Amino acid sequence: MANTIIWETDVKSALARARTEDKPILLDFFNPG
Amino acid sequence: MDTVTYPNDKVIEFIQKNLIPLRVAFDAQPLSTDFNIKWTPTLIVLDENGKEHHRTVGFLPPEELIPSLLLGIAKSPFNGERFNEALSTLDKIIAEYPKSDSAPEAAYLRGVCKYKSTHKPQPFKEAYEQLQANYSSSEWTKRAYPYRLL
């Protein structure tokens, strides 16, 4: 297990993974500063 | 979130195992407008079709983030009327994170799931009694208040 969260940054990729892996998506709107 | 919550080992393991993590800047278009983002952090749980099921705004410590995300995971089957699937996740919140801020809502939704599954009012009364016993000051106990008479 990675010691950091590996974030997707592209919505289409995240949706494709969600369907393939049968998992919901955690969408985090953040302030990059 | 980046300093305290996301580096937490349990949070990392939970998110990587149970969710597809997607991170975008608060002003990224068209998502920011589509989801009406006004403040950060805004965390949203989406289903595989991109439909929103759960949202939080503001910082959450590790011990609150995991049960909040479980609530989001439960709401997708709940909204899809797959109540048994939702129940297993709601039960997990109540059993493993009973002191979390998400637990009272989980107890409330548990009563709704059981009612929707059986069409009998008893689960509502049981939900109120559980809420009153364990979370007497919660807004969810107030919302369940009418069910005490069932």
Bridge partners of B89, per DSSP, are none
Using the Cβ of A12 and the Cβ atoms of chain B, whether some distance falls under 8 Å is answered with no
Phi first, then psi: what are they for B35, rounded to 5°?
A: -100, 5
Q: Specify if B15 maps to a domain.
A: yes
Structural domain containing residue B137:
9-149
Report the pLDDT value the prediction gives residue B130, as an integer from 0 to 100: 94
| Contacts with A12 from chain B: Cβ below 8 Å | none
Structure tokens given for A20? 């393939």
Residue pair B140/B131 in contact (Cβ under 8 Å)? The answer is yes
Pick from B11, B22, B48: CB nearest A27: B22
Q: Specify if B63 maps to a domain.
A: yes
Coil vs helix vs strand at B10 = helix
pLDDT more than 70, % of chain B: 100
pTM confidence score: 0.94
Report the number of distinct structural domains present in chain B: 1
Cβ burial, residue B74 (10 Å; 0-12/13-18/19+): buried
Residue A18 pLDDT > 90: yes
What's the average model confidence in pLDDT over B25-46?
97
Report the pLDDT value the prediction gives residue A1, as an integer from 0 to 100: 55
Phi first, then psi: what are they for A26, rounded to 5°?
A: -100, 110
What is the Cα–Cα distance from B150 to B148, expressed in whole angstroms? Answer: 6
**CATH number for position B32:** 1.25.40.10
Residue B1: CB atoms within 10 A of its CB come to 18
Report the pLDDT value the prediction gives residue A33, as an integer from 0 to 100: 85
Q: Specify if B2 maps to a domain.
A: no
Using the Cβ of B25 and the Cβ atoms of chain A, whether some distance falls under 8 Å is answered with yes
Structure tokens given for B88? 């297993």
Q: What is the ipTM of this complex?
A: 0.95
What's chain B's average pLDDT? 95
